[in-house]
A and B are shown apart, each in its own frame.
Chain A
Amino acid sequence: MPGNDMQNEQPSYFTSRLDKAIGWARKYSIFQYPFVTACCGMEYMATACSHYDVDRFGAGLPRFSPRQADVLFVVGTISHKMAPVLKRIHDQMAEPNWVVAFGVCTCTGGFYDNYATVMGIDTIMPVDVYIPGCPPRPEMVLDGLMKLQDKIQDQHTTGNRPAPEARPDIL
């Protein structure tokens, strides 16, 4: 469609095969940045370790630098003091990147409806997968990870996010 910048090619057989191949490669080599703050971190550790292994999904290598990661797992409550730090970390990640809101405190604020807590990180950044739970069981985390993998598989190579210039400059 004219004027639509994001999909500037008609999907053809070869580009869709290429998209699927790239999606397959990306979804099985997830470099996660676990931004761990609170109690959900304990369930994150349990999911990442041998009992409920997350390495079998290809996501077992945490990179502790946003420049080297592509999935930002926001694990645990984000307070208003921490929110600018989180936003800066998210802005430092290169495209394509995805954000997983792990735990109900990051989805909607949880039961900390008070002066100190951000009521859901989707008020400050776009979120791809929400994993509710306080804390979520490892099986829920793996289910969320599989949903994220489905989402990664279905993305076009140009990505379907607006270009960074279009996002408001918050910092």
Chain B
Amino acid sequence: MKTSPLIESVTDRFPDAVLASHTYRGDATVVLGRKSLLKVAQFLKEDPAFEMNFLMDLTAVDYSAFGKRATPAFFASSGVAVKPSPQIPDEDPWPGPPAESRFAVVYHFFSTAHKHRLRLVVPVEEGDAEVDSLIPLWPGANWLEREVWDMFGINFTGHPDLKRILMYQEFEGHPLRKDYPVNRRQPLIGPVN
């Protein structure tokens, strides 16, 4: 696994917070423990070697169906299901989902001064889905965290107003979770079509 100087600096500075790291396809990625997110984010923003002034993206992934999906057969009665297998070989394979936990909150940072990017992945358990909010450092995290709450149901401690942003308040459930079927509609008016 190739490492980049960014990953090495972060690992040297926070050796007990970093769970894993890789540079798959050139993207520097660090898997971080939940408790140290705010410290590491502050370090990334303020340290002159990093100067990550942009929080580009904040999202989450639900790993509960990873590698388990059988491709559905066109004629369901035929019972044919193809297990997913990569057909295009890989010299430097990806290490896999970050941890055994169900969710992972993914942060992308960018620095306009040094033009480098870093990705932080924070694994989150299903029963204890809570992460620190990054609003004190970047006010733009407000809406991004609301969207993650809306779509996945992950709480952000310290968020002033965590409510739904893309769906309506009466909606029940979190649509981007793997156990939410794609066409279960909950109409406010009209028939369930």
Contacts and interface: CB of A to CB of B under 8 A. Distances in A.
A25 interface: no
A21 interface: no
Contact of B185 (A80, A84, A87, A124): A80
A113 B183 contact: yes
Given A81-B167, A81-B168, A115 B186 contact: yes
A1 interface: no
Interface string B149-193: 000000000000000000110000001000011111111111101
Which DSSP category, helix, strand, loop or mixed, fits chain B's interface?
loop
Contact of A114 (B168, B182, B187, B188): B182
26 contacts: A80-B185, A80-B186, A80-B187, A81-B167, A83-B187, A83-B188, A83-B189, A84-B188, A87-B189, A113-B182, A114-B182, A114-B183, A115-B181, A115-B182, A115-B185, A115-B186, A116-B167, A116-B185, A118-B187, A118-B190, A118-B193, A123-B190, A123-B191, A123-B193, A124-B189, A171-B189
A115 B185 CA distance: 4
B189 A115 contact: no
A27 to B, nearest CB: 30
Contact of B183 (A83, A115, A118, A120): A115
B168 A80 contact: yes
A109 B185 CA distance: 13
A119 interface: yes
Interface string B62-94: 000000000000000000000000000000000
Nearest 8 CB-CB pairings of A with B: A124-B190, A119-B193, A81-B168, A123-B190, A114-B182, A170-B189, A80-B187, A123-B193
Contacts of A116: 167, 175, 185
Contacts of A81: 167-168, 188
Interface of A: 80-81, 83-84, 87, 109, 113-116, 118-120, 123-124, 170-171
Contact of B188 (A80, A113, A123): A80
B33 to A, nearest CB: 33
Contact of A84 (B180, B189, B191): B189
Contacts of B175: 115-116
B156 to A, nearest CB: 23
A136 B167 CA distance: 28
A125 B167 CA distance: 22
Contacts of A170: 189-190
A123 B187 CA distance: 11
A119 B184 CA distance: 12
A123 B167 CA distance: 20
